[in-house]
Amino acid sequence: MADLTLLRAEAVIARRGRSRSQLYLDIRHGVMTPPVRLRGGKLSAWPAREVDSLNAAEIAGATDDELRAVVRELLAQRAAGRPRAA
């Protein structure tokens, strides 16, 4: 079964080892997925599997272009409703 855990910003910041401002800069630069909007857009969170996939890519030495490719793949899978294993 796929991990459907959702992480709020504070947990993503801790898991990624970055500051809040760097998290949102990473999103702006396309090297981090944007959050999923929950409950009519009032709340947002990140799927833990996406955060873990991006961490794994960074640990493997992915370049920014490679991270952008991972983000595009994750967003395509998110849109299709198919979770990606970490």
Measured CA distances, 84 to 20, 39, 42 (Å): 25, 23, 26
Task: Report the distance separating Cα 9 and Cα 2, nearest Å.
Answer: 21
pLDDT confidence of residue 85:
55
Helix H or strand E segment including 57: helix 48-59
**pLDDT of 21-44, one tens digit each?**
999 999 999 999 999 998 777 899
Q: Is the model's pTM score more than 0.85?
A: yes
Second CATH level (architecture) for the domain 6-80: Orthogonal Bundle (1.10)
Beta strands in the chain (DSSP E): 6-7, 36-38, 43-47
Average pLDDT on 59-76 reads: 97
What percentage of the chain exceeds 90 in pLDDT? Answer: 79
